[in-house]
Structure 1
């Protein structure tokens, strides 16, 4: 009977944000060394250390010959996507990466991942076009109109003329 490997470290709390349940990535414990790792189970299963590799840490990873994968944040779905770099190709100095997990070797980094800032501060409007009082009144009139009456209403076009 196979027993589940126990972690030899505490799980960083930011990993729950980085790898939510909806992600094809999985946070698990390495069976060999007992450290937390991120597994990409979408195609070929690959294991990555959870520390974010960038800047000087990226230089260290390249010098040590440790394979890395590029982290691309997908704000529309709220989780990252990992992209292969094929050696030194695809490595950009401003990119964010994860280093391949190699049992019993020290991690390149333990830096937490922070999702990119939103395009606008929370609580601020999206920058809708300014509407005239007439346009707002027309919207309210149509909004309050019963559906049975709305079916027979002619739709104005962008030029202010009735539609077909």
Structure 2
């Protein structure tokens, strides 16, 4: 049994989007030879790799294509797919993948972009409280040439 041959080039961003540790797999469809994303967690499903969002989302709903929501997991570095039923559960600001149907054009070929991480505002770092003597010692060692530094003994600090 031979592997199906791809009719297109694999997008470079797809390797970063789905790493080897992910339960999702990028394969070639046996029927049409296009790259698809297979979800092999529970029921094996095939999805076109283009990110469906904005106007493409409207097109997918009109065409009746099944959709799955892409949820990015920053802790593990790969996406998780969550099914939506019909138009229920679809948010206009979400990113989706359209179900793959052989020999039909993709709804979208846009690459997926992970969401920006919101960081809570924090206090500015004031730095450690060092004495003038400790700062002078640091500057002296920092500006010392390496040939002399390797023979310098480390100061012992007790206290």
Alpha-carbon offset, residue 93 of structure 1: 0.7
1:29-68 superposed matches below 5 A:
29-68=28-67
Q: Which residue of 2 is the match for residue 158 of structure 1?
A: none
Aligned to 1:82: 81
Name the CA distance, whole Å, in 1 between partners of 2:26 and 2:91: 26
Structure 2: unaligned runs, 5 residues or longer:
131-156
After TM superposition, give the deviation of residue 73 of structure 1 in Å. 0.5
Instruction: Tell me which structure has the larger Cα radius of gyration.
Output: 2
Deviation (angstroms), 1:128: 6.9
The TM-score with structure 1 as length reference comes to: 0.73
Deviation beyond 3 Å, 4+ runs, structure 1: 126-134
Give the deviation of 1:36 after TM superposition.
0.1
1:71-150 pair list within 5 angstroms: 71-119=70-118, 133=129
Count of aligned positions: 131
Equivalent positions of 1:10-21 (< 5 A) are 10-21=9-20
Superposition TM-score, scaled by structure 2 size: 0.76
Distance 1:103 1:127, change over 3 A: farther
Offset of residue 118 of structure 1: 3.5
